[in-house]
Structure 1
């Protein structure tokens, strides 16, 4: 049975992850700027857990008087990092871990103490907003935010299905609860989000079947895993997305750790279950100790859609 101290420590880590943000410097693409000189950048600290699509109305309003075509629809906007289009359904923290090239922080644990999750990113991440030449690999958002909402809800449903073997938990949410969940995401309001999220993570009388984990690898990573899904291989910055059925317990009936799961799914990159030798698993900007329980991570520090989105970073 989980002790009061353990619950308090998990809650503390969850709050630390919730408060994590990244300083962004968003510049208007010169091809869309009507002035000869570059326009002033849009500066913001934006939540790691949130989605860049929620920034589009503010970015359009900020840059409108600098655009070649000021009446252009905000739905034409898209964001990139070094010309790599950033996918709307990837949380900001995942995008940063995948593309920024910043060295991840030290280990993250779900217990309290020196290795808690902390925001250790002082440098601005420079992104570019475009209002033309919309990439074919990106879903186009709508003015009312319904598409971004649907992308999020579909991911929530997929995670719920993996955890419980069916999607009844999320499908049984009332309309009020569903609205509150999305409002919590849009407003980044923990008091709105967490009560509904806990209903999804801890449904009464339901046995946890599988753990929702996705692994993201650069194409340079050498692996022959059958679980790999190609994510637009021809595009710059394309990834290999790995998703496999991960049970709460390993084959020896011990709790499934990140190390045992990675050793099973990607043995070429993680030949050891306890020590990273060729690659590191990065979550929320920090490296994961391979001995940490996957179930504890899912319950404590999953992204807002219920998934552990883990970046696999090759070691020097």
Structure 2
């Protein structure tokens, strides 16, 4: 894919957003669940903790304990606590049950407008806005790490993810560790402000280090509803299996690594074919990614802000 197409794809990815309808959990509401909902169009690449100060201010008059700190807040969907260190778009693709968009024809993600049937469109409208519940008590300590009022925990989690992606790309985290303090601050502020030009000014330094090529591609595969233990009869609500493997930009034949070749290597039982999805599909930013997509192109243009391709594996009906 040309640089111009990669830039266009990246702009589409950063332009993605999800309408959210957030309600206060009834057990914490002094008006017995009659509080108004908080409505917002929220970027797919952003993180739920950024909303907590606004949610606390909005619901403070309805809270039984209005003095509780906003940092005690956490969100859930259908009783599943949502992992705050996952980007919102990933959470939506994992849990909402929304039908992903399909390419109108063959080609890479973002090169053509998705084709969605009327039935699928109606199903999407039934799901949107995505209805979440905010809580300020009874933190699910077994499922979520605690946050802090200063935002250090979220910041550190994001930076650690950036470092992991950098280590995979280059075999060392030297590139991200050598960023100036101003660059590191700008990278985080670009995520807080959802500012693509500010982000790219730093991200291009991470993707194009002098004197080296990308060694591996940072990809995580998410398999929803995977049973965490063989002793359990049913999967726990919201349970996931996260799969990682070393993915090179090119095959031993020097042909570019496609999503099909990568998935066939990592999950051969789900992706027995390198060219055609037979049992499962990979979803990124709400869209099914063609198996012909060049993985390095996706890494350069369609990662989340932490540098990772977070791909949700969805079984085909």
**Same fold per TM (> 0.5)?**
yes
C-alpha separation in 1, matches of 2:132 and 2:274: 36
What are the equivalent positions in structure 2 for 1:72-221 lying under 5 Å apart?
Answer: 72-107=68-103, 109-110=108-109, 112-114=111-113, 123-136=128-141, 137-220=143-226
Unmatched 5+ stretches in structure 2: 116-120
Question: Secondary structure of the residue that 2:10 maps to in structure 1?
Answer: helix
C-alpha separation in 2, matches of 1:181 and 1:240: 29
C-alpha separation in 1, matches of 2:213 and 2:301: 18
| Residue 42 of structure 2 is aligned to residue 46 of structure 1 | yes
Contact 1:281 1:287 in 2 (8 A): yes
Report the CA distance between 1:220 and its aligned residue: 4.5
C-alpha separation in 2, matches of 1:124 and 1:110: 24
Post-superposition Cα deviations, 1:202-243, rounded to whole Å, max 9, x if no partner, equal 112112110000000023589x9xxxxxxxx97421100000
Match for residue 9 of structure 1 among 5, 8, 24: 5
Contact 2:226 2:241 in 1 (8 A): no
Post-superposition Cα deviations, 1:251-279, rounded to whole Å, max 9, x if no partner, equal 33211111111111101111111111111
Going from structure 1 to structure 2, the CA distance change for 1:135 and 1:52 (only over 3 Å counts) comes to same
Question: Normalising by the residue count of structure 1, what TM-score does the alignment of the two structures yield?
Answer: 0.90
Report the CA distance between 1:125 and its aligned residue: 0.3
Question: Secondary structure of the residue that 1:65 maps to in structure 2?
Answer: coil
Going from structure 1 to structure 2, the CA distance change for 1:247 and 1:43 (only over 3 Å counts) comes to same
Contact 2:248 2:257 in 1 (8 A): yes
Contact 2:38 2:55 in 1 (8 A): yes
Contact 2:101 2:114 in 1 (8 A): no
Match in the other structure for 2:298: 297
| Residue 254 of structure 2 is aligned to residue 253 of structure 1 | yes
Q: Which runs of 4+ in 1 moved over 6 A?
A: none
Match in the other structure for 2:118: none
Question: Normalising by the residue count of structure 2, what TM-score does the alignment of the two structures yield?
Answer: 0.90
Post-superposition Cα deviations, 1:102-160, rounded to whole Å, max 9, x if no partner, equal 100013725644469xxx96520000001111001101111111110000000000000
Match in the other structure for 1:22: 18
Contact 2:48 2:88 in 1 (8 A): yes
Match in the other structure for 1:262: 263
C-alpha separation in 1, matches of 2:158 and 2:184: 12
C-alpha separation in 2, matches of 1:130 and 1:113: 40
Question: Secondary structure of the residue that 1:90 maps to in structure 2?
Answer: coil
Going from structure 1 to structure 2, the CA distance change for 1:149 and 1:220 (only over 3 Å counts) comes to closer
Match in the other structure for 1:33: 29
C-alpha separation in 1, matches of 2:56 and 2:236: 26
Contact 1:24 1:126 in 2 (8 A): yes
Question: Secondary structure of the residue that 2:60 maps to in structure 1?
Answer: helix
C-alpha separation in 1, matches of 2:132 and 2:39: 10
